[in-house]
Structure formats: structure tokens, C-alpha cells
Structure 1
């Protein structure tokens, strides 16, 4: 960020943990573009990482938080680590480190916390019975593994931390083969650029607290759930015939059943989140290559 923009930046620094990761780096870039001073912290170097440190080290953690106005916490062990990393390590990193980070943030005068969680915390509640599951914040999480358990435990710490805080449960957003990504963007994924936009919006509304789903611009409605479980292709043909045509032109199967749809309406109503990068944008970008 230029010196002129730093002079215009409101408040203190935005500290982004996990700033070398996919989501953390996208959030850091978005806050920088919004004119904020960004201090990225990660164990590995990266474009947006100015502090290479392990946040379990109290001295490093407190130094990183000093003079910060906002804490954006994305650093964690993730679902792919399940089975490869001991459960005790999951709890130490995702819960213990989060608790220590929040305590230090409160003592050092941080005024706003943004925690990045995952829709994975809904766990077993995502399994359909006779209809697709409509996944909004009223759905009770039923964790299925240590990742889900520790992310949900960290959410509770954030909610009780005594600092104005908001948690975003973000949908699937990691790189995948194009056909897989397109299918997921129909109903249960989000583009990382939309995640970053949601993060900036949530931080700039300090009166907004609580937990919100962040997913893509999906075409389905709640009343579609029964039909999506029986014949998703027919529902999709009615809601987005252009997408069905694009799938068929590429030789991709049109899904015959969908198990869930993520709903971000609460985030839209609370802080103006409006995702813009859905399956149509993915297909448009693929045509341009």
C-alpha cells in the first residue's frame, strides 16, 4: 500500500492470521485495497505476510497484535489434516491458540474480531432424509470429526471474547477441477473473492455480531428442497437453463440429486453481503481461456 493510502487508512492495523493461506491472503489483499494497513502473520512466508511467526509463542503473538484495531483470524488446522494430525494438535491449534489470541487481543485494545469458520461445522446435519437440507444459521451443527468440533469450539470462544466479534462460516472455496468446482458452485461453494468481500463488509459494521453463513449466489429457493432430492436436473433446468446447456455443451453430467443448499441471506441482511462469483461467472471465465 502506498504511503498516501496508509495516511488515509482509518484506525490501527488489521492483523490477519494465516495470511499466506488461500483465504487469509485474499482477505489481506481486500483490506489493503480498502485502504487499511495490513499486518499478516503466518508460519510460512507469503505475499501478505509481514510477520513470520508461530502464534503459539506469546511474545510473537503479542508483538503482532500491538497497535492493532482489527483481528482477522483464519489460521487453523483444516479438514484435510484430519487423520494426519493428532486430535490433541487440532485442539491445541484451533482452540487453545484461538483462546490465547483472543485474550491478548482484548488486553491490547483490539476493537473488532473477525473469525473465519466453516460450514463444515454443520456436520451430520447436512445429511438429507427426504429432501435437500436448507442450510441457514437455524440449522443445529452436529460435528462429525475433530475439525468440526474444534472450529465450533473456537466459534464459542469468539462469541464470548468480550470484543465486538463476528464469525463467518464459509462454504467450500479451495481449488478443484473445473467440473467439480462448477457443480459445487451450484449449491454449496463460494469464490474466495466473495469471502474476502464479506470479511471487509463484516468488519466495517461493528454493531453486527454473531455467526453468518457465507456462500455463493445460488439459484435455488427453499421451496426447491424436496424436488432437488428427487430430480435436481429438472429444478436446475427451470431455474438456470443456460447453466444446464453449458454443462451439456462441455459433456459434464447435470446433477440428478443435490443434498444441500447453503443460504447466505442472514449475511446479506446484516451487513450487505452480496456474492457475485457463482457458476455462471466460472463458466464465463472458462470460455475466455
Structure 2
């Protein structure tokens, strides 16, 4: 049975990966915080401990990081130590142990200012050049660059730039699933599919976001009048909003296009916008009450 290591296994994506992988693989969850999906309490900044953890592993899912909510709580140095320097240590230890694949959890947030068009919604895909805004964005992008430098025919590395997948008010989450959101379980599934795609490229990047019904030609109207476009492109959403008396957003500023991921990995999100309404009606704690 193959050995898999997950860093950040107590986090949102780490837990989802652990649950999806543990029935088929020998999974070791590594985190500084204890949880049911963490076998090893360890700080990824401690290089000396990493080869011992990675020994015999086939794949490392590297999801440990500081995130956007940590920006005001941690220094820039801590962001670089955890998000960038520790990523390089993981690469070095992976090579030392003969690990063949790393799948890295990144974020669409690193596009930053690239999401801000003046007169239309931004259409973002893997060719869009990131323009980071915060230390979080900067360090995730720098970590990607570190990984690219370490990728080789012996160490294949894939980067998953995931869109929003944390609990939010129901009406916000439902609309985000149309253009900049995704279910965390679908994010984990994309990671796993990326780990199974071997040797086509030493390094590749995938945007993982819900399938959008919008077209590039909708971008001006999405910024100015999204309700009309939503009613046209996804009338089921509009009916749910009307039945519940929920307001539509006044503007949509970006669309994340996951076409490349879907074509290359064969990935399809299983949880779409309509699933948000069911989760809300079932009182699923993943979906917050409308704001």
C-alpha cells in the first residue's frame, strides 16, 4: 500500500484529503495542531524531522500554510518562514527521500490586483499574470516559484490554485459557486486527480473553481447588472432567490475559469450552486445563515 503524506492535515483541505485517501493508502497526516486527521504533530519548519516523516512516501500533499485571516496576526517573517522557506525544506526532504510527486495547495487570491478591471469583470485563467496584494498572496506565489525550481523528471509538482471554499452566508456562497467558489471536497478531489497524472509535465498549475455558466462576453454586464445575467444563464438560482426573498449581488468583479483543470485532469465539481440551498435547508454548518 502506497504511503501518502499530507501537511496541514488538521486544516480544511488537509482533512478532506485525509478522509478521501485513507481508505486506499497508508496516509500520514502532519500538522502543528492536533486533530482526528493528524497522526504526527510536527512543525514543517523543522527540516531535521522531515526526512523521517517522508521516508517511503510516494506523494506529498502540501497544504500547510498561513492564510488570509492570519495577515494581521503574524509577521511578514513568519509568513515567509512558513509559506516559502518551509516549502523549500519540504522539496529538499522530498528529493532526499525519493518522493516522486508533490501536490501543492495554492490560492486564486494571489491574482490580487489582476482581479480588478475598470469597466468589466476580470476573466481569470492560468495565463492571467498574478498581481499580489498582501503578504499572503506574495508568499503563496513565491512558494509556487520555489516548487517550480525544484520540479524535475524525478519530482513532478502540481499546483492547485483553489477558489473560495470556506463557510459563508448562503446567498453569497450560492452566487460564488457561479464564478469564484467551490466546495472543499471538490478541491480535495482535484488534488487527488493531479497526483494521479504522472509525467505529462514536471510542473503544472490548475485553477480549481466551480464550473461557471458565464461567458467572456458577459463580463461588462456582470460588473454592472449581474442579476439579469444570472437569470439568463442559471434560472434555477434565480428561482431559489425569488422564493427565499434573497437579494442578488450588485456587482460581480471576477470569473475564475477552471476549463484547463477540467480538461487536463478530468475533474468535475460534484457540489454546484444548487447544493448550497440543500445544505442550507438541511442546516449544514458549512453554510451560514443569510446576512
Q: State the TM-score bracket (shorter-chain normalisation).
A: over 0.9
Establish whether residue 17 from structure 1 lines up as the match of residue 7 from structure 2.
yes
String of CA shifts for 1:60-95, please: whole Å, max 9, x gaps: 222111111101000001011112210011001100
> In structure 2, which of residues 272, 277, 280 is the aligned counterpart of residue 286 of structure 1?
280
Q: After TM superposition, what 4+ stretches of structure 1 lie above 4 angstroms from structure 2?
A: none
C-alpha distance in structure 2 between counterparts of 1:18 and 1:217, whole Å:
27
Flag structure 2 segments of 5+ consecutive residues without an equivalent: 284-291
1:108 match: 97
Partner of 1:31: 21
User: TM-score if structure 1 supplies the norm length?
Assistant: 0.93
Aligned to 2:289: none
CA distance in 1 between counterparts of 2:49 and 2:176 reads 39
Matches of 2:263 and 2:235 in 1, distance apart? 28
Equivalent-residue separation in structure 2 for 1:198 and 1:32 (angstroms): 16
Distance 2:211 2:131 in 1: 25
Mean Cα deviation higher: 166-175 or 277-286: 277-286
Give the drift of 1:120.
0.6
Q: Distance in 1 between matches of 2:194 and 2:111?
A: 22
Q: How many residues align?
A: 278
Q: Map Cα deviations across residues 195-249 of structure 1 (whole Å, 9 max, x no partner).
A: 0110111100112431110001222122211221221111111111111110122
Does the CA contact (< 8 Å) of 1:217 and 1:277 recur in 2? no
1:273 match:
267
Given candidates 220, 230, 252, the residue that maps to 1:226 is: 220
Task: Report how far residue 288 of structure 1 moved.
Answer: 4.2
Match of 1:214 in 2: 208
Given the two structures, how large is their TM-score scaled by the length of structure 2? 0.92
Q: CA deviation at 1:57?
A: 1.7
Q: 2:172 aligns with which of 180, 202, 205?
A: 180
RMSD of Structure 2 on Structure 1 (CA): 1.3
* Structure 1, 118-127 or 44-53: larger mean CA deviation: 44-53
Deviates more, 1:226-235 or 1:134-143: 226-235
Q: Choose 279-288 or 238-247, whichever is displaced more.
A: 279-288
Q: Are the equivalent residues in 2 in contact too, given 1:218–1:278 (CA < 8 A)?
A: no
The answer to whether the Cα contact below 8 Å between 1:217 and 1:276 also exists between their aligned partners in 2 is no
| Structure 1: gaps of 5 or more residues | 1-8
Q: Is the 8 A contact 1:122 1:140 kept in 2?
A: yes
Please point out which of 232, 239, 243 is paired with 2:237.
243
Report if the CA contact (8 A) 2:171-2:246 is conserved. Answer: yes
Which among 106, 113, 125 is matched to residue 136 of structure 1? Answer: 125
Query: Are 1:205 and 2:197 counterparts?
Result: yes
Task: Give how far 1:177 is off.
Answer: 2.3
- Measure, in 1, the Cα distance between the counterparts of 2:74 and 2:281: 40
Structure 1 range deviating more: 177-186 or 246-255 = 177-186
SS at match of 1:186: helix
Counterpart residue number, 1:6: none
